[in-house]
Amino acid sequence: MIAVIGLGFVGLTTALGLADKTGQKVYGYDSNPLRRAELHDGQVPFYEPHLNEKLKEHMGNTFIIAENMKQAIINAELIFFCIGTPNDQEGRTELNPLLQAIDESINYTEDSAYKTFVIKSTVPPGTTENHIIPLIKSRGKRIGKDIGLANNPEFLREGMAWIDFIEPDRIVVGVSNGQSSLVLEKLYAHFSAPIYKVSFTNAEFIKYMSNSLLATMISFANEMSMLGSTFEHIDLKQAFHILKQDKRWTGSPAPMTSYVYPGSGFGGYCLPKDVSSLIHTAEEQGYMPTLLKEVVHVNDKVKSFIVAKVEQSVSKNERLGILGLAFKPESDDVRGSASRDIIERLLASGYHNIVAFDPMANLRFHESFNLPIAYAEQLQDLLEECDAVVVLTAWEQFRSVRSMTTNKRIIDGRYFLTE
Ligand SMILES: NC(=O)c1ccc[n+]([C@@H]2O[C@H](COP(=O)([O-])OP(=O)(O)OC[C@H]3O[C@@H](n4cnc5c(N)ncnc54)[C@H](O)[C@@H]3O)[C@@H](O)[C@H]2O)c1
């Protein structure tokens, strides 16, 4: 049996979706009596396609509106918390309603009956570790022994809530023990989507990252519309339509995903040049392109971030290997290469014993920048002579460097090495 606490967009969709997909009995509870009454009468309190039909179909058999928290959860093995998490005026997430609901629900957990609490509300990274686990422990319950815990962010879109819930692209489950993970895997086996088991904090982070990316794309489009409107002869509708014909948006797997990948910053001939040029042009037009400026700022900041990572684990007199000089793999182009900026910052910071290797770009890099570093002929040569290695270009042949050496510290600046 399943309980869903909070019957807003997410909670009602979750409750009906789980009833529909699993055939299990789902008890839903909302603290708002008006909402409970409307649902009892078969009325969905907001417009969302399919929910009215599904409410009528499941109400009273697989979906029961509970009159109180106790009735909802007393016999449930899985309890989904779908409470709102609005921000206060400073942007801080108000966790109290969610924490209060969890606290109240603990009153109805018997020591003998194991229940898994599943947090579906969107919460800031660290919330489960720093607030929810301490709360449960303060009530004398042991995580994984008396109560199972999982963070299971929801990615549905309003207006498409039913389809998105029933046919998710991915299911993210933040867990810390095998039992909670098994319970959710069993439940979500009814859905044909890959299940990613991650830490609590990573699950929370993935949800925020997903929405932040969407917000950045919208702001990007809006910045372009505001900037574009400072020119005559720009047809924004047409420009956006043609922009989206790029097959990097449409392939399968969509190559656009390679742009949403952390690394050591974008480089090459075009991206740095064109973004800077557009900023300059915008300013000439009297438009301040704040988002684009931040894009460049972050691209610079991430290089110092990589240097700081090196500084944390490599001392200045050690031999430091740099893997990758070209701005991207399968290329010998070093124009705008992030490796150049990073090596220059490492030199400035006192690393004078640097050796670099790139499968194609050693010579071109040396001739272009003439930096006081050595070059290795082969990957193996570099690995033998260095104390530590930082990978800056994602060449396929670098992917397995961890297994090619036993005693070297390796900093994966591209987040792609196999462990
Ligand atoms: N709306 C979306 O598109 C969407 C998508 C993904 C994730 N989320 C996240 O899911 C969570 C819920 O969002 P929503 O849009 O469904 O919110 P909502 O405000 O529509 O619904 C929340 C419900 O929780 C009820 N509630 C509050 N305290 C309660 C308590 N102690 N016991 C029982 N019920 C209680 C409220 O009465 C309300 O009906 C939020 O964290 C949100 O960020 C929302």
274 within some domain: no
| C-alpha of residue 132 to centroid of ligand 1, in Å | 17
* b/e sequence 309-346, b meaning 16+ C-beta within 10 Å: ebeeebeeeebbbbbbbbbbbeeeebebbbbbbbbebb
Claim to verify: residue 178 and residue 49 sit in the same structural domain: yes
214 within some domain: no
Picking from 339, 396, 415, 343, the residue whose alpha carbon sits closest to that of residue 372 is 343
Residue 342 sits in a domain whose CATH number is: 3.40.50.720
pLDDT per residue of the chain (419 residues) written in tens, 0 to 9: 999 999 999 999 999 999 999 999 999 999 999 999 999 999 999 889 999 999 999 999 999 999 999 999 999 999 999 999 998 888 889 999 999 999 999 999 976 688 999 999 999 999 999 999 999 999 999 999 899 999 999 999 988 999 999 999 999 999 998 888 999 999 999 999 999 999 999 999 999 999 999 999 999 998 998 889 899 999 998 999 999 888 888 777 777 777 888 899 999 988 898 999 999 989 999 999 999 999 999 999 999 999 999 999 999 999 999 999 999 999 999 999 999 999 999 999 999 999 999 999 999 999 999 999 999 999 999 999 999 999 999 999 999 999 998 889 999 999 899 98
Q: What is the rounded distance in angstroms from the CA atom of residue 287 to the CA atom of residue 284?
A: 7
In 287-372, where does DSSP find H-type helix? 290-313, 338-349, 362-369
Q: What is the rounded distance in angstroms from the CA atom of residue 379 to the CA atom of residue 358?
A: 8
271 within some domain: no
**Side-chain half-sphere CA neighbours of 230 within 13 A:** 16
Claim to verify: residue 6 and residue 152 sit in the same structural domain: yes
Say what the pLDDT of residue 90 is.
Answer: 84
Claim to verify: residue 188 and residue 86 sit in the same structural domain: yes
Nearest CA to ligand 1 atom 15: 9
Q: Ligand 1 pocket: which of 43, 83, 103 to mutate (most atoms <8 Å of CB)? A: 83
Q: Pick the atom of ligand 1 nearest to 5's CA.
A: 33
**Side-chain half-sphere CA neighbours of 79 within 13 A:** 30
97 within some domain: yes
163 within some domain: yes
Q: Pick the atom of ligand 1 nearest to 35's CA.
A: 39
Claim to verify: residue 75 and residue 186 sit in the same structural domain: yes
Say what the pLDDT of residue 304 is.
Answer: 95
Claim to verify: residue 146 and residue 12 sit in the same structural domain: yes
Q: Could you identify the residue written with the tokens 């309890």?
A: 79
215 within some domain: no
Q: Which of 172, 203, 234 is the C-terminal boundary of a domain?
A: 203
Give me the number of domains the chain comprises.
Answer: 2
Q: Pick the atom of ligand 1 nearest to 153's CA.
A: 7
**Cβ distance 120 to 89 under 8 Å?**
no
Claim to verify: residue 10 and residue 137 sit in the same structural domain: yes
Say what the pLDDT of residue 112 is.
Answer: 65
Angle, alpha carbons 208-261-406 (nearest 5°): 115
Claim to verify: residue 22 and residue 145 sit in the same structural domain: yes
236 within some domain: no
Angle, alpha carbons 386-321-395 (nearest 5°): 125
Q: How many whole angstroms from its chain centre is CA 75?
A: 34
Claim to verify: residue 197 and residue 328 sit in the same structural domain: no
Host domain of residue 29: 2-203
Q: Which two tokens stand for residue 389?
A: 């290695």
| C-alpha of residue 11 to centroid of ligand 1, in Å | 7
Q: Which two tokens stand for residue 195?
A: 């299940």
Q: Which of 144, 170, 203 is the C-terminal boundary of a domain?
A: 203
260 within some domain: no
Q: Which of 184, 203, 222 is the C-terminal boundary of a domain?
A: 203
H/E stretch holding 229 reads none
Q: What residues line ligand 1, using a CB cutoff of 6 Å? A: 5-11, 29-32, 35, 82-85, 97, 100-101, 121-122, 154, 156, 158
